[in-house]
Amino acid sequence: MSAQEPPHPRGVAVIEAQLATLPLTPGVYRMLDAKGEALYVGKARALRKRVTAYTQLARLPERLRRMVSETVAMEIVTTHTEAEALLLEANLIKRLKPRFNIVLRDDKSYPWLVLTEDHPFPQIAKHRGARTRKGSYYGPFASAWAVNQTVTAMQRVFLLRSCADTVFSTRTRPCLLFQIRRCSAPCVGRISQADYAALVDQARAFLGGKAGHVQQALAAEMEQAAEGLEFERAAAVRDRIRALTHVQGSDVINPASLADADIVAVWQAAGQSCVQVFFIRGGRNNGNRAFFPSHTKADEAPDVLAAFLAQFYDDKPPPPLILLNHDIAEAELIAEALSLKASSFGSGRRVEIAAPQRGEKHAVVAHAELNAREALERRLAESAGQARLLEAVAGLFTLPAPPARIEVYDNSHIMGASAYGVMIVAGPAGFDKAAYRKFSIRGPVTPGDDFAMMREVLQRRFTRALKEEDQGPGSPAWPDIVLIDGGAGQLSAARAVLDDLGVSDVKLIAIAKGPDRDAGREWFHTDGQPPFQLPPRDPVLYFLQRLRDEAHRFAITTHRAGRSRALVGSELDEIAGIGPGRKRALLNHFGSARGVGQAGLSDLEAAPGISREIARRVYAHFHPGARVGEG
């Protein structure tokens, strides 16, 4: 190849072939590889001008030159505006996870706090998922812990109920929350509907950022009660004021000048980034969370921050103010796009992006930056320790290189009932919980036959992996090590499954407890080595124990969840004509399968979505000796 020739003619030719039909309008382009997978997703104000730049290889960084070299096809989507293109680009990057983009790996849903509006006595509760119930929603919160703390605080200050409507309707006496002064017991008439509505209004004002007005109103109410010699009522209001003061003073970041805002700060070290987000709503700190976007070492902090913002708010409403620790390119465009996103959630407010340089807002951003730095330093320290452990594992089991993926298998059951197998995954970054898998044992399996359960799980996992490998795009993740809980028998059973499937490049290891089942005296079984033990304080032993224990924990929780579902639904599942929809309607209305069984015929007929015929059928199932008339 001469010096004048382009080093990657195929990719350039593919792009040049597209240029003739590309418009000078906003849109999104995708570079695809030979398997049809997205290599890169980008947006443009003028598609033809932007895509032309990829044909000028000498001006591209090495990362994009490699991307062009692998490109065999392109896909184009036009949009009305550049802001719409930015939103579409963020959505596609988050969904497709292209190798050459900065990618935010955040598949978790965020909890919200809801104050219901479809009941005479509104309920305060934690909420996730679609907003199908009528009510006022506040959030998001960084974690379930943060929203639970807020629910508890709201109960103490405003005495609102947190029980489900089905529980509320069946109470005959106050519950424990009333006794410990965290509920006003509207279920049994200890408070009138008008007085409860006043508490709800105060709660809404507090959640809307008007805590000062609420505190003044409570102080006035306490003085009025004291002047009227209602000392018990005055003491109760005093306790609510104390609880409100505690809530207001318990936040790490609680700036008086901020009502609704997100504080977003990035810190970089060793080619990695940590983005720390603090959620401020109604002047309160709703918690914080650290994120570690995937990107190349060449990507700088402002670029990571800009990509993060577009992807982070893809599925959640942005607040009116976002404070950053770096100025970012196209800040006005991103703010316009996020304003469109806010409108789609019904807020219709303008989003402002700023990087304050002084004052209280700068101090808040600096605090978030410090948290990002500390979180990244902890992650790097853990990664270094993890790398050393994986190197030691490779040496112990004669692997050619440290394992990049370790899969650990376990199962759980009670005499063969509600049997589940699980797979957990670990690697250089620790536990990869997104890769965990559950296997409901199909059988037929003799009750208590752990060997058969393990065989079924391994057969299903690797059969599917082999099929995916044959299909081409999206090659499956193969483990370097398969670790199973057991001894020589489990090892032989697992080896037989893999041999039958023709899988020979996976290291199988079985970890068995000692004679007295004492942790620290485990025996390790593997092919090509006699069984051996490690010294009780060996770091590799602790590491392998932790892997085994995590698989055991996941197996137990999976089994318990499956058993609970089976216990709740088993009675209703036996009734002909009761499918998932009617079962859900009955359980929601009566609270439990036991409640359905205790209901009278007229109560069943009054349940939403239940016809008279179905009600008679359900009643006859739970009362086999009773006569159910036609009229």
554-590 tens-digit pLDDT: 888 887 776 665 555 556 777 777 777 787 777 777 7
Q: Average pLDDT, stretch 460-470? A: 81
Mean pLDDT of 205-212: 77
Q: What global pTM score does this model have? A: 0.69
Q: Is the pLDDT of residue 274 over 90?
A: yes
229-273 confidence digits (pLDDT tens): 877 777 777 777 776 666 555 444 555 668 889 999 999 988 889
The reported pLDDT for the residue numbered 5 is 43
pLDDT band at 514 (very low <50, low <70, confident <90, very high): low
Region 452-460: what's the mean pLDDT? 87
Residue 570: the pLDDT is 57
Judge contact between 183 and 155, C-beta under 8 A.
yes
Mean pLDDT of 100-124: 87
Residue 32: strand pairing partners: 38, 73
Residue type, 478: W
Torsion of the alpha carbons at 259, 262, 267 and 268, rounded to the nearest 10: -160
Task: Check whether 118 has a pLDDT greater than 70.
Answer: yes
Q: Residue 515: pLDDT band by 50, 70, 90 thresholds?
A: low
Residue 107 has a pLDDT of: 64
Distance separating alpha carbons of residues 445 and 279, to the nearest angstrom? 50
For residue 290, the surrounding DSSP H or E stretch is strand 284-291
> Which long-range contacts (C-beta less than 8 Å, at least 24 apart) are formed by 614-617?
614/577, 614/578, 614/582, 617/575, 617/576, 617/577, 617/578
Asked whether residue 473 carries a pLDDT value surpassing 60, the answer given is no
Portion of the chain with pLDDT greater than 90, in percent: 35
* pLDDT at 314 exceeding the cut of 70: yes
The neighbouring-strand residues paired with 278 are: 263, 288
**Tokens describing residue 616:** 């008679």
**pLDDT score at 48:** 94
CA angle, 278 as apex, 273 and 280 as ends, to 5°? 160
Closest CA to 255 of 363, 387, 99: 363
State mean pLDDT over 213-227. Answer: 77
The pLDDT score that the predictor gives to residue 248 is 57
Q: pLDDT tens, 321-334?
A: 999 999 999 999 99
Average pLDDT over residues 205-224: 77
CA distance 357 to 367: 13
Q: How many CA atoms lie within 13 A of 462 on its CB side?
A: 24
pLDDT at position 84: 93
Those residues whose C-beta lies under 8 Å from the C-beta of residue 173, and which sit 6 or more positions away, are 188
For residue 475, give the amino acid letter: S
CA angle 53, 272, 82 (to 5 degrees): 35
How confident is the model over 394-443, as pLDDT tens digits?
999 999 999 999 999 988 866 556 678 899 999 988 888 888 998 888 77
Which one has a higher pLDDT value, 596 or 264?
264
For residue 500, give every residue at least 6 positions away whose Cβ sits within 8 Å of its Cβ, in sequence order, or none.
Answer: 459
pLDDT digits (tens, 9 = 90+) for 56-106: 988 888 889 999 999 999 999 999 999 999 999 999 998 899 999 999 877
Position 338 pLDDT exceeds 60: yes
pLDDT score at 414: 62
Identify the sign of the CA torsion 438, 444, 448, 450.
negative
pLDDT beyond 50 at 1: no
Which of the pair, 227 or 290, is modelled with greater confidence?
290
Q: Which residues lie closer than 8 Å to 96 by C-beta, 6 or more apart?
A: 30, 37, 38, 41
- DSSP designation for 484: E
Structure tokens of 627? Answer: 């006569």
- For the chain, the maximum distance between any two Cα atoms, rounded to a whole number of angstroms, is 99
| pLDDT on residue 3 | 44
Q: What is the band of 539 on the pLDDT scale with cuts at 50, 70, 90?
A: confident
For 572, phi and psi rounded to 5 degrees? Answer: -70, -30
Q: Which of 316, 300, 290, 308 has the alpha carbon at shortest distance from 353? A: 308
- Considering 255-264, 324-333, 509-518, 541-550, the range whose residues carry the highest mean pLDDT is 324-333
Specify the pLDDT at position 250.
45
pLDDT at 612: 85
Tell me what pLDDT residue 568 has: 52
Is 50 exceeded by the pLDDT of residue 478? yes
Domains of the chain: 9-96 (3.40.1440.10), 112-249 (no CATH), 261-377 (3.30.420), 406-564 (3.30.420.340), 574-622 (1.10.150.20)
SS3 at position 39: strand
* Tokens (6 digits) for 562: 């499956």
Mean pLDDT, all residues of the chain: 84
Q: What is the mean pLDDT of residues 123-134?
A: 85
Give exposure, 415-452, as e/b (b: 16+ Cβ within 10 Å).
ebebbbbbbbbbbeeebbeeebbbbebeeebeeebbbb
| pLDDT, mean of residues 287-298 | 89
| pLDDT score, position 255 | 59
Q: Which of 56, 58, 66, 46 is nearest to 16 (CA)?
A: 56
| Cα distances (angstroms) measured from residue 140 to each of 265, 389, 498 | 18, 38, 46
Strands (E), 89-151: 112-116, 124-127, 135-138
171-181 confidence digits (pLDDT tens): 889 999 998 88
Ranges 222-226, 459-463, 487-491: which has the least confidence: 222-226
Whether 611 has a pLDDT exceeding 90, the answer reads: no
Long-range Cβ contact pairs of 426-435 (< 8 A, separation 24 or more): 426/547, 426/550, 427/390, 427/403, 428/383, 428/386, 428/387, 428/390, 428/402, 428/404, 429/383, 429/386, 430/382, 430/386, 431/550, 434/105, 434/107, 435/477
Mutual angle of helices 231-249 and 211-227, in 10-degree steps: 160
Q: Is the pLDDT of residue 38 over 50?
A: yes
**In terms of Cα–Cα distance, which of 530, 509, 492, 485 is closest to 393?**
509
CA pseudo-torsion sign 428, 429, 434, 438: positive
Between 25 and 110, the higher pLDDT residue: 25
